[in-house]
Structure 1
């Protein structure tokens, strides 16, 4: 047996992986490395059929997350980049992945040419989001060719779709790693496997995972932060893929959320946003009676200036939540309340489980408790077989409620959802024309709402300098209005008072009130 063979035999027989990783660099045998790391790896691909099943087993909570010793230093002198698409939940997941990679020794970089790992954290809500990701994979192919050692991964909601993963396997075989939304805590093990494997490492759980606490995070700044309070959704709207990609509703224990918010308050955060796919369904899966309103009532007592939540469902917006929000303080009266359509018939086909009338009743309840509440919404135009009359019902509802902003979209067909099998007789040019009319209405209402701020003094949480002018600061009011103004850089991260001098459709311009001390 020669010296090289003795080295290989020692590697295969040793149980000490920490020593193995150091010794691997001395080996020249790629086959050995591939064999060693694939012996414990079993690839799992997503299954839409399995994802549609809802198990009865209780969700377990784990507090013992650690990064194995042999993996902690694997990223030393290496860098990572995570590109995030989609909602705030994806942004939050990116913070967790960045925290994990940092504890493994990696450093973040904004330069793709410096990166040793690039992860695409994807969104599956609309077809356009998917197209962006696949387009990005096309661009990264040449980068991978220039740097064969680059580890390229795809994660997030797209990874939970069976058709998407099959497409990646067939058309983008240069991707090294694919994992889903339920197993982010497995990132250290998956990265190690991908680094030393000759084949694509694939691990996507079609069944929901447990709740993993104590995950490391790298948040962006110390001004605003997200706090995830629950995972998944049980609503099964006919157009939505989220219940299949994010799984059933699982609520975090109240104590863990409260402790996290207290810690952020101690660190100086001025605003937090509570996150959930269906955030006001929080607590319904717990084995005791506890709701989002109860949680908000406890968070109301914590010394943090602003608390928001998103995204809510009208069906779960109850009187207890309205009661707590009406107490004011750090409970803000800006409410994002997706309606999707103003037509009861369309809402029924969407399986939203409320009517136009019920939605308007809810708005009235909110207005009675909070007369100055700002309402924003989401609206889908051109749902299969939407008639002109049904679209007009949406237009009249927008006017009646007086939304000050809306995220508006043409319906996007998602494979695997019930709506994807619905016959649609509405031409695309009609859908585009309707979207244009809706946006004109929303823009007009936003402009009228903004004009009312002229001459007023508002509290602004300053986030930084304007994207268009380094001499101008930018921030948000409690009602989520963008304000641009001139002021000292020391105001960044603080809540200051600004007198509004000019209003635009989507933003306000003003001047910082010099006599008011920075809060």
Structure 2
């Protein structure tokens, strides 16, 4: 059986696709590119915004057009959240929800044999973490999913409904996965999850720092990078532990969503701008060189011009290093779906453009601050005469050299910043 994959959405989704791909390979099936003709197409979908839904439908349509005889399996969040709609798309033979990745090979084989599957497994009470292995080759940075699910139920977010309850990879399996990744030569591991700071809530006496500590005694792993973090769950102990760990990358994606106290309250976020700023201060006092990146939603219901200006001012005041901007997208089933005072599309577009422009300015300022410093860079690829990679603060950097350093970490002296990227010289 020839099977092809398409992945939409977040890094967790990408990890899930890698895990499903490994299951097909283990079962003896051939994995081909999504642009090729295949017997089965697995579309791992996203539903966090209406754009995610649209792209999911488009990728299903593209697969059906490429091979009308193929069995299409719609997997992931869109399948879990809207199974009826997903199953009705042309060419769809089966669904695989967010609790059924371990069964994906059987589901696909049944679909190819003509067994339609139009329902997904619902979450009821507690659920177990799917401890799926991923085998990777030829990369320098590996993502390790250690947590799934969310119980925060922010007003705008559909994720708790489609990803289910909080569940965590056991510490023993985190260690096993890290050992495998070290053996494969990975220098940097990104610990990721749907709500990463909830790691261990379902385990007895485990927390995120315990997962980080599983890399102890694995000298090949030089960097540990954390996925998205939540400010209301920060503590001085957490920050001190990261500051004392030389493997911990000094880049922290600290979810903001708005710089306005009023908007944050309506969103159901469990912190305000002051608490967020305190977390940033904690990080920078302990690790002055830290990058703080974030996500912001613009045009949340009721967001006034004054509240948006508060967000702009706050982003500049705390000197964010990078901002991912998302216009508000109403998700049916969430509290925000029925909120009054919707913000118009043109206003959302204008606010997004202004915030993106500020984000580029702040990103360039942060990059400029690296000039004159010596930074360790993980080199990932070569383009012409240049080696390209990223610093621990996740700023792109390049050096002109003939040295074969792909997959290695080396020190470079930063001599120039161009926009949000750095140029340097190898320190021999």
Query: What TM bracket, shorter-length normalisation?
Result: over 0.9
Q: Is the 8 A contact 1:297 1:324 kept in 2?
A: no
Q: Where does structure 1 lack aligned partners over 5 or more consecutive residues?
A: 1-77
Q: Distance in 1 between matches of 2:176 and 2:237?
A: 22
Match of 2:130?
212
Aligned mate of 2:390, from 472, 476, 480: 476
Say whether 1:161 aligns with 2:81.
Answer: yes
Q: Show structure 2 runs of 5+ residues with no match.
A: none
Cα displacement (A) at 1:111: 5.7
Structural mapping, 1:32-51, within 5 Å: none
CA shift at 1:345, angstroms?
A: 1.1
Please, what TM-score do these two structures have when normalized by structure 2? 0.94
**Displacement, 1:203?**
4.3
Q: CA shift at 1:447, angstroms?
A: 1.0
Q: How many Å apart are 1:512 and its aligned residue?
A: 3.2
Q: Provide the C-alpha distance between the structure 2 equivalents of 1:178 and 1:427, rounded to a whole number of angstroms.
A: 35
Structure 2 residue aligned with 1:264: 181
CA distance in 1, matches of 2:34, 2:50: 27
Q: CA deviation at 1:374?
A: 1.2
1:120 alignment partner, one of 37, 43, 47: 43
Deviations 1:299-334 (A, max 9, x none): 355321000111211122223321211103101221
Change (3 A) 1:301 1:375: farther
Output one character per residue of 1:389-432: Cα deviation in whole Å (capped at 9) or x when no partner: 11111112111111110111111111111111111342222222
Cα–Cα, structure 1 residues 245 and 260, in superposed 2: closer, same or farther, change >3 Å?
same
Indicate the RMSD between aligned Cα atoms, in angstroms: 1.9
My pick for the range that moved more, 503-512 or 377-386, is 503-512
Q: Provide the aligned length of Structure 1 versus Structure 2.
A: 425
Matched, 1:130 2:53: yes
Q: Is the 8 A contact 1:333 1:372 kept in 2?
A: yes
Q: 1:151 aligns with which of 41, 62, 71?
A: 71
1:81 equivalent in structure 2: 4
User: Tell me, what secondary structure is at the counterpart of 1:236?
Assistant: coil
Paired position in structure 1 for 2:287: 370
- State how far apart, in whole Å, the 1-side matches of 2:377 and 2:147 are: 29
Return the offset for 1:443: 1.1
Tell me how far 1:144 sits from its aligned partner.
Answer: 2.6
Higher strand share: 2
Change over 3 Å in CA distance of 1:328–1:210 after alignment to 2: closer
Matched with 1:33 is none
Seen in structure 2, the aligned counterparts of structure 1 residues 294 and 477 have a Cα distance that, compared at 3 Å, is: same
Q: Is the 8 A contact 2:292 2:321 kept in 1?
A: yes
Aligned CA distance change for structure 1 residues 103 and 367 (closer, same or farther; 3 Å) = same
1:300·1:329 contact (CA, 8 Å) conserved in 2? no
Residue matched to 1:399: 316
Aligned to 1:223: 140
In structure 2, how many angstroms separate the alpha carbons of the residues matched to 1:455 and 1:367? 20
Q: Judging changes above 3 Å, is the alpha-carbon distance between structure 1 residues 178 and 272 closer, same or farther for their aligned structure 2 residues?
A: same
Shift of 1:232: 0.4
**Largest Rg, 1 or 2:** 1
SS of the aligned residue for 1:212 comes to coil
Corresponding residue SS for 2:296: strand
Alignment partner for residue 342 of structure 1, among 223, 246, 259? 259
